[in-house]
Structure 1
Amino acid sequence: MTDFSQGTLPDKRQVAASFSRAAASYDSVAELQRDVGHHLLQQLPTDFTPADWLDIGCGTGYFTRALGEHYGTAPGMALDIAEGMLQHARPLGGATHFIAGDAERLPLRDASRDLLFSSLAVQWCGDFTAVLSEARRVLRPGGVLAFSSLCVGTLQELRDSWQAVDGHVHVNRFRQFNDYQQLCADSGLRVQSLQVRPHVLHYPDVRSLTHELKALGAHNLNPGRPGGLTGRARILALIEAYERFRQPQGLPATYQVLYAVLEKEG
Structure 2
Amino acid sequence: MKWRRRSRVFCMSPAMTEFSQGSLPDKRQVAASFSRAAASYDSVAELQRAVGSRLLEQVPASVVAADWLDIGCGTGYFTRALGERFAAASGMALDIAEGMLQHARPLGGATHFIAGDAERLPLRDASRDLLFSSLAVQWCGDFAAVLSEAQRVLRPGGVLAFSSLCVGTLQELRDSWQAVDGHVHVNRFRQFTDYQQLCAASGLQVLNLQVQPHALYYPDVRSLTHELKALGAHNLNPGRPGGLTGRARILALIDAYERFRQPQGLPATYQVLYAVLQKEG
Q: Normalising by structure 1, what TM-score?
A: 0.97
Within the candidate set 108, 130, 144, 1:115 is matched to: 130
> Counterpart of 1:15?
30
Give the drift of 1:51: 1.0
Note the residue ranges of structure 1 that are not aligned, 5 or more in a row: none
Deviations 1:72-107 (A, max 9, x none): 111100000000000000000000000000000000
> Counterpart of 1:180?
195
Give the drift of 1:168: 1.2
Deviations 1:103-158 (A, max 9, x none): 00000000000000000000000000000000000000000000000000000000
Within the candidate set 90, 102, 120, 1:105 is matched to: 120
Separation of aligned partners in 2, 1:3 and 1:16: 22
Amino acid at match of 1:30: A
> Counterpart of 1:247?
262
> Counterpart of 2:77?
62
For the residue of structure 1 that corresponds to 2:215, the secondary structure is strand
Separation of aligned partners in 1, 2:128 and 2:100: 23
Kindly report which structure 2 residues correspond to 1:16-35, keeping only aligned pairs within 5 A, or say none. 16-35=31-50
Identity of aligned residues (%): 88
Distance 1:225-1:128 versus aligned 2 partners, 3 A rule: same
> Counterpart of 2:16?
none
Kindly report which structure 2 residues correspond to 1:32-51, keeping only aligned pairs within 5 A, or say none. 32-51=47-66
> Counterpart of 1:207?
222
Kindly report which structure 2 residues correspond to 1:157-236, keeping only aligned pairs within 5 A, or say none. 157-236=172-251
Note the residue ranges of structure 2 that are not aligned, 5 or more in a row: 1-18
Whether contact under 8 Å (1:79, 1:98) holds in the other structure is yes
Q: Once superposed, what is the RMSD of the aligned Cα atoms?
A: 1.1
After superposing on structure 2, the runs of 4+ consecutive aligned residues of structure 1 that deviate more than 4 Å are: 1-4
Separation of aligned partners in 2, 1:182 and 1:16: 27
Separation of aligned partners in 2, 1:40 and 1:16: 23
For the residue of structure 1 that corresponds to 2:100, the secondary structure is helix
Separation of aligned partners in 2, 1:12 and 1:3: 18
Separation of aligned partners in 2, 1:92 and 1:115: 21
Amino acid at match of 2:162: F
Count how many residue pairs are aligned between Structure 1 and Structure 2.
263
Whether contact under 8 Å (2:170, 2:268) holds in the other structure is yes
Whether contact under 8 Å (1:37, 1:119) holds in the other structure is yes
Give the drift of 1:2: 8.0
Distance 1:103-1:3 versus aligned 2 partners, 3 A rule: farther
For the residue of structure 1 that corresponds to 2:74, the secondary structure is coil
For the residue of structure 1 that corresponds to 2:275, the secondary structure is strand
Give the drift of 1:179: 0.4
Separation of aligned partners in 2, 1:98 and 1:3: 33
